[in-house]
Structure 1
Amino acid sequence: MEDQLKDYLHYLVVERRLANNTIVSYERDLKKYYLYLNKVENVASFNEVNRLHIIHFLKYLKEQGNSSKTLARHVASIRSFHQFLYREKVTNSDPAVHIESPQTERALPKVLNIAEVEALLDAPQLDKPLGIRDKAMLELLYATGIRVSELVNLNLSDIHLSMGFIRCLGKGSKERIVPLGSVATKALHNYMENARGQLVKKNKTDAFFVNHHGNRLTRQGFWKNLKKIAEHARIEKELTPHTLRHSFATHLLENGADLRAVQEMLGHADISTTQIYTHVTKARLKDVYKTYHPRA
């Protein structure tokens, strides 16, 4: 069973070319599933698995306090895995084919207002190389809406300041070109001229954003920095690495941007993913109405 799980993960890497974070998520979910089948249900082969085994596993997850969103993700992982096993003729049937995914309420993404964004972007100290770097990263995130994983994976060859765009690889290694604004371009140019060389020192790296050791900055390193910068900016809202991405999309739509254009800039495969931001703008309009209309 472990070998079949390894074969599936290899298929996700080589044939489907999924992002590393997605593969890690599949692996985590399916290992939990495999261990449950093996230890609780005493199943020795995936060919023995039936619909009830999967239902029992989902019930077990729910009893452990997992949310409906987590259950839905497990269902998606299990479905995909059993489809693979059936297609490869490892199993005689697909026990997950009629398993329904639990209904989940899609939480609206948390966004910063314009004043909060400006406070965050102005917080880094520009008299230090790391502060210049932080300013460049935050300006770039808000200017383009790219993911933090895309930000830290940028190489020197991906930055085209004179032409006003960056090239990044999104989920599934899909390439996209994203335009830059003048403020972000200025911040990136300042980083290149006055900070990156001091941070890299004698290291040879293609990484555009580096840490104080001169190595490529990690997502964890960025996240730790963001929390410190938010504290300095006195932002009380809970921030996530996606907060500036959410704010980018919401502010564009609030100012009349086309939904399809925002979808392309964000790198969403399905426009329904982008449509969540239209709900955010409507919710914000309602808040404004309730706050300021005398008869609200």
Structure 2
Amino acid sequence: MNEKAYYEDVNLKNELKLREMLKKMPAFCKQFFIGIEPRTSSRTRLAYAYDLDTFFDYLKQNNPLLKTVDVTSLPLSILNQITPQDIEEYLFYLKYYEKDGVAHANDERGIKRKLASLRTFYRYLYKNEMIENDPAIKVDMPKIHDKTIVRLDADEVALLLDVVESGENLTARQQIYHEKTKKRDLAILTLLLGTGIRVSECVGLDLDDVDFKNNGIKIHRKGGAEVIVYFGDEVRQALLGYMEERNQIEALDGSTNALFLSLKKSRINVRSVENLVKKYAKLVTSLKNITPHKLRSTYGTALYRETGDIYLVADVLGHKDVNTTKKHYAAIEDDRRRSAAKFVHLREDN
């Protein structure tokens, strides 16, 4: 029996989770998820489900007429009674609330995402004439305040890779595991820093996704597109060093084709990669909270500084909209504009 590709397995699990969630949601939600399926990823649909579940739970808890009504029995007509002001109150509620004794909080980005989910939901129902009005479109998106982009400097990148190779300053317990994983860890961090791929794309790599003849890896992007990303000699050497070890490991069923394995001989997961990045990065910098995504930003910054080509950076990182890339690298853009001042001389020096 052929092994499922990582992304196929993820899609299947997300779809099963979504179906379980739909059992607890109003019946009319099912048509929405069927309708958006052709143009959305399984991950996006699952995120919509979590956001809508929060919205319907809010309606039930905060509307006296609905307190005794089971969420699954909420009528579609209830959506026609929602006003823009009701949605604004919901967004205010999202800043901090408690559910089942657990406190939840959302920053401006979390609130914006939940409003975006609600807008998509209402837009679909209104477009398909299932409801009479669309109040969500009348609610302004929260203003997002820019955050400083955290990335590693060039000297920190070199130091990070040195630490992975040597294991210096790791605890005694960490040293024991380090001897077993250092080639794998070096390959993973070098690959993330040398290609800018997402952590999910990294853990999803199979052995036959690596092409050493052309120095490329085949990855599946968030939206489902299959692309080839190319790597340099440093990444090549790190991968070859790990492959010698990987070829000697007999992986568990279901992971026999996985490139990166855990100590349990199954495909390494996203959380494990996040933890190993955090472990090594803390030895390099205590001020920066380095995650796999920050390594992606580090790569994008280095590539843009070397090429000055924002479209190339957007393409390699898999950004569908170049404006997303520009937003992340605006500070570097400003540095480049400042440097222009020294290149044009109006008079020769005396």
Bucket of the pairwise TM-score, normalised by the shorter protein: 0.7 to 0.9
Which residue does 1:152 correspond to in 2? 203
Q: Where in structure 2 are the equivalents of 1:1-296 lying within 5 Å?
A: 2-12=26-36, 14-20=37-43, 22-41=44-63, 42=65, 44=74, 45-62=78-95, 66-125=106-165, 128-195=179-246, 197-198=248-249, 200=251, 205-233=256-284, 236-281=287-332
Structure 1 residue 268, shift from structure 2 partner:
0.1
**Is the CA contact (8 Å cut-off) linking 1:108 and 1:279 kept in structure 2?**
no
Query: What is the one-letter code of the residue matched to 1:120?
Result: L
Q: Which moved more, 1:131-140 or 1:70-79?
A: 70-79
Is the deviation greater in 205-214 or in 133-142? 205-214
- Once the two structures are overlaid, the 10-residue window that deviates more, 49-58 or 115-124, is 49-58
2:288 and 2:273 map into 1 onto residues whose CA distance is 18
TM-score of the superposed pair, with normalisation by structure 2: 0.74
Change (3 A) 1:69 1:125: same
What secondary structure does 1:178 align onto? strand
Larger Rg computed on CA atoms: 2
Cα distance change, pair 134–280 in 1 and its aligned pair in 2 (3 A): farther
Give, in whole Å, the separation in 1 of the partners of 2:255 and 2:46.
29
Give the counterpart letter for 2:153 in structure 1: N
2:250/2:256 contact within 8 Å kept = no
Residues 212 and 236, structure 2, Cα contact 8 Å, conserved in 1: yes
In 2, are the aligned partners of 1:110 and 1:246 still within 8 Å (CA)? yes
Change (3 A) 1:24 1:122: farther
Extract unaligned runs of 5+ from structure 2.
1-24, 67-73, 98-104, 167-177, 338-350
Residues 68 and 233 of structure 1, relative CA distance in 2, 3 Å threshold: closer
Q: RCO (CA 8 Å, sep 6+): is it higher in 1 or 2?
A: 1
Aligned 8 A contact 1:167 1:175 in 2:
yes
Looking at structure 2, the residues matched to 6 and 55 of structure 1 have their Cα atoms a distance apart, in angstroms, of 25
CA distance in 1, matches of 2:253, 2:94: 50
Percent identical residues: 30
Query: Which residue is equivalent to 2:342?
Result: none
Mark the CA change 1:99 to 1:202 in structure 2 (over 3 Å): closer, same or farther: closer
What amino acid does structure 1 have at the position aligned with 2:189? L
Counterpart residue identity of residue 17, structure 1: T
Moved more, 265-274 or 98-107: 98-107
CA distance in 1, matches of 2:302, 2:194: 11
Change (3 A) 1:209 1:8: farther
CA change 1:201–1:186 in 2 (3 A) is farther
Structure 1 length-normalised TM: 0.86
Output the CA distance in 1 between the equivalents of 2:186 and 2:209.
19
The number of residues matched between the two structures is 285
Contact 2:192 2:292 in 1 (8 A): no
Structure 1 unmatched runs, 5+: 287-296
Q: Rate the CA distance shift 1:128–1:11 in 2: closer, same or farther, 3 A.
A: farther
Name the aligned partner's letter for residue 58 of structure 2. Answer: Y
Q: Using the alignment, how far apart are the partners of 2:334 and 2:291 within structure 1? A: 20
